[in-house]
Amino acid sequence: MTVIAALPLTRKAFAPFGDVIEAEGAQSFLINNGNCRRFHDLAQVEATGDNARVLISLFRAKPYPAPVTVGMVERHPLGSQAFIPLSPAPFLVIVCPDQDGSPGTPRAFLTKPGQGVNYARGTWHGVLTPLGMEQDFAVVDRGGDGDNIEEFFFPAPYRITLPEPS
Ligand SMILES: NC(=O)N[C@@H](O)C(=O)O
Ligand code: NI
């Protein structure tokens, strides 16, 4: 089984696939008479197609045991999809470059607790993959008419390894 080593999630490394949602390194300004800091415009939300609208949902996701394997990735051709953790635990982010309409070799990232991601419209990604504990996420993605999911099953699954705890 081909092994993919997960790397720490950073804006720079994730930029070809979407946005990292976190306060660190974000532009911010004070609002509400100085009582609140707004970390502004962290991700590009897209919702296209007929009767498109932006949805906000909550996902309560069960953890995946190690070693995590990835046999399928998906993409949403009509909209972006953001996962914002409401629990202080890491999760695994799997993405693939597109190669003429099919996913290329997966890339794996391990989030720091609190980091979220926004998959850009059409980005190949693994399904939501919490680690260690059941986790709640706020999810911002696209609703509307049409089929907004395309799945690809790899000929053989990949095994994802995690970085040693620092
Ligand atoms: N299907 C669904 O709502 N979630 C997936 O798209 C996912 O990326 O986990
Ligand atoms: Ni998805």
pLDDT, one tens digit per residue, over 46-93 is 999 999 999 999 999 999 999 999 999 999 999 999 999 999 899 999
Q: Which ligand is nearest to the CA of 129?
A: 1
Reported as a single tens digit per residue, the pLDDT across 18-33 is: 999 999 999 999 999 9
Distance (Å, rounded) from C-alpha 59 to C-alpha 29?
Answer: 29
Ligand 1 atom 8 nearest Cα = 127
Reported ipTM: the value is: 0.92
Ligand 1 atom 2 nearest Cα = 127
How remote is the CA of residue 149 from the centroid of ligand 2, in Å?
8
Distance (Å, rounded) from C-alpha 85 to C-alpha 147?
Answer: 26
- 110, 9 contact by CB (below 8 A): yes
Q: What's the pTM value of the predicted model, to 2 decimals?
A: 0.96
H runs (alpha helix) in the chain: 11-14
Tokens of 89: 């635990």
Ligand 1 atom 7 nearest Cα = 127
How remote is the CA of residue 122 from the centroid of ligand 2, in Å?
10
Ligand 1 shell residues, CB under 6 Å:
74, 81, 125, 127-128
Which CATH number, 3.40.50.720, 2.40.110.10, 1.25.40.10, 2.60.120.480, labels domain 2-161? 2.60.120.480
